[in-house]
Amino acid sequence: MTSVTGMENCVISLDKVSKVFGKANSAGFYTAVDNLDLKVAQGQMLALLGKTGCGKSTIFNMIAGLTEPSEGRVTVSGHDPFREFDAFRGKMAIVFQGDRLLPWRTAIENVELGLEILGQSAKQRRSHAMSWLERLGLRGHEHDYPHALSGGMRQRVSIARAFATNANLLLCDEPFSALDEMTGKRLRTEFVKLVKENGKTAVFITHSINEALEIGDRIVVLKRPATIAIDIPLTSETRDDAKEAIRSRIQGALAA
Partner 1 sequence: MTAAQLESSSASRLGMTALRGAMSYVLPFAVVAGLWQFASLFFPPFLFPSLVDVFARFVSIVTEWSQFVDVLATVLRILAGLAGAFLIGAVLAVLMARSRMIHDFLSPILTLFQGIPALSWVVFAIIWFHGIEPRIFFIMVMTTLPAFSFQVLSALRAMSRDLTEMVMSFRPSRSKLFTAMIIPAVLPDILTAWKVNLGNASRVVVVAELVGATGGVGYQLLQQQQVFDMAGALAWTLQLVVFVLIVQAILTLIENVAFRYRAASERTL
Q: Using the rule CB under 8 A, is 169 a contact of partner 1?
A: no
For partner 1, the closer CB: 136 or 167: 167
Burial 6-39 (b: 16+ CB within 10 A, else e): eeeebbbbbbebbbbeeeeeeeeeebbbbbbbbb
**68: nearest Cα among 13, 14, 19:** 19
Q: Using the rule CB under 8 A, is 23 a contact of partner 1?
A: no
Q: Are 62 and 17 in contact (CB under 8 A)?
A: yes
Q: Using the rule CB under 8 A, is 92 a contact of partner 1?
A: yes
Nearest distance from residue 60's CB to partner 1, in Å? 11
Q: Using the rule CB under 8 A, is 28 a contact of partner 1?
A: no
In single-letter form, the type of residue at position 34 comes to D
Q: Scan residues 35-74 and list those touching partner 1 (CB under 8 A).
A: 64, 66
Q: Which of 69, 114, 152, 225 binds partner 1 (CB under 8 A)?
A: 114
Q: Which of 23, 27, 86, 236 binds partner 1 (CB under 8 A)?
A: 86
Nearest distance from residue 89's CB to partner 1, in Å? 4
The contact mask relative to partner 1 for 115-154 (x = CB under 8 A, - = no) is: -xx---------------------------xxxx------
- Contacting positions for partner 1 (CB under 8 A): 64, 66, 85-86, 88-90, 92-94, 96, 98, 100, 102-106, 113-114, 116-117, 145-148, 165
